[in-house]
Amino acid sequence: ELTHVAKAMPMGVGLDENNVLGPLQNKAQYDIVANLVDAARDSGARILLGGNPDPDQPGYFYPTTLVADIDNTNPLVTEEQFGPALPIIRYTTIDEAVQMANALDVGLGASVWSPNLPAAREVAARIQAGTVWINKHGAVDPRVPFGGAKQSGYGLEFGVEGLKHLGVPQVING
């Protein structure tokens, strides 16, 4: 089912408001994503979708990529790749999934997917990440603080808390 959703995700130039995904920021970022996907494939992970960029396409458009049968210690899982490559990791229990997520050194964002919202909120509260979305991912609202946990950046942006991180108070006494 996830493959059908990912395959239907429109990718292209950002000037077209129908596109959901655009190009990666630069060649260096493109190479990071490509190298991580290639290394995952070489380690035995299975590419369900994407993973083979079109060398003739202009720009740094890396195709939406789903990677299954991948170990939780694979760099595609443990490193923040900031690209459209999604590793799919098997787990048996919710406790195991939370433990694997929290074992990572990074924690910018995470998502919990479930039709049971109270249960999803309970799981979300256990995940060590700056933002945990429920039944969506990456929805950033400038009115709400956004920032990472652990080794994922520093400070906050957006919202009142984000504005407080941009300023340095000065007291003049006298």
Query: Per residue in 95-118, pLDDT tens?
Result: 999 999 999 998 889 999 999 999
Is the model more confident about 149 or about 42? 42
Domain count, the chain: 2
Same domain, 36 and 66: yes
Q: Does the pLDDT at position 79 exceed 90?
A: yes
Domain termination residue (choose one: 90, 107, 134): 90
Same domain, 7 and 69: yes
Average pLDDT over residues 141-160: 83
Q: Is residue 128 part of a domain?
A: yes
- Which residues form the domain of 132? 91-161
> Does this model's pTM top 0.75?
yes
Domain termination residue (choose one: 62, 90, 118): 90
Q: Does the pLDDT at position 153 exceed 80?
A: no
CA dihedral 32, 36, 42, 43 (to 10 degrees): 150
Q: Does the pLDDT at position 35 exceed 80?
A: yes
Under the banding of pLDDT at 50, 70 and 90, the label for residue 82 is very high
- pLDDT score of 17: 92
